[in-house]
Amino acid sequence: MKPLRDKTDPAYIVPIHRASLSEDVYETLVSHLISLRVRPGERLSVDALARQFGVSQTPIRAALIRLETEGLVVKKFNSGYSAAPIPSGAHFRDIYAMRLLLEPEAAFLATQRMNKEGLQQLVELCEKMANLVKGDTHANYGRFALLDGQFHSLLASLCGNQVLADTLHGFYAHMNLFRLRYHSAVAEEAIKEHQAIMEAMEKGDAQAARAAMATHIAASRDRMEPYYQTEE
């Protein structure tokens, strides 16, 4: 799916297929928020965004509502939407502690239950992430963050434990993590770690999948730790 272009872009084209319009707006705003093109606390005017993207207010509002549920924007009475503050270091540490408890188990259970269709979906997500890194990683960073979140969410949904899957989904950890720091090594290392998880799952080795996921979560925590906000 091609990102929506704003009217200042010489290659701007008004989207034709309305079915994909809301998703285009959402993905563009995610990219702007994650890359900090929209800074934390910056106001997001529905009218201004509609003019900028050349669309009606409907897909803008739909995207903002979705982003609010994912913790990337906040809405205040009488002031509208604004970009959410980046969570504190304490919050990130707590999230990683919970992920280390839950995601390795999800990988273990998913491997035991894995079918051909589920495995193919995970492989395709990994391939899409790898292809993004081959290009302009910074320009693709928002899309990479979305795919990374989808990979972890899908794996959790395949574990067969709906409570576990819902709990992990509710963290929305990936979106805010990618706001902390851009560096191509973050994406490249994540791809290698995802591949290790996939290799274990393809072999049907649930214990290895659990270990590979634990290694991935711990490595991600260590990569991001220097960029956490220090305030509680």
- Helix, coil or strand: residue 100: helix
- Helix, coil or strand: residue 71: coil
The model's pTM is 0.83
pLDDT computed for residue 94 by the predictor: 93
Mean pLDDT over 48-52 rounds to: 94
Average pLDDT score over the chain: 86
Residue 173 to residues 14, 97, 170: CA-CA distances in angstroms?
Answer: 32, 12, 8
- Ordered by where they begin, the domains of the chain are 18-83 (1.10.10.10), 89-227 (1.20.120.530)
Residue type, position 177, single letter = L
Q: Are 178 and 34 in contact (CB under 8 A)?
A: yes
Residue 119: its H or E element: helix 116-134
Mean pLDDT over 38-49 rounds to: 94
Quote the DSSP letter at residue 229.
B
pLDDT per residue as tens digits for the range 175-204: 788 888 766 778 889 999 999 999 999 999
Higher pLDDT, 81 or 232: 81
pLDDT per residue as tens digits for the range 96-117: 999 999 999 999 999 999 999 9
Q: Are 69 and 34 in contact (CB under 8 A)?
A: no
- The neighbouring-strand residues paired with 44 are 81
Higher pLDDT, 135 or 154: 154
Higher pLDDT, 226 or 183: 226
Say yes or no to pLDDT of 226 above 60.
yes
pLDDT computed for residue 139 by the predictor: 66
Say yes or no to pLDDT of 172 above 80.
no
pLDDT computed for residue 161 by the predictor: 96
Residue percentage of the chain with pLDDT more than 90 = 60
pLDDT computed for residue 136 by the predictor: 67
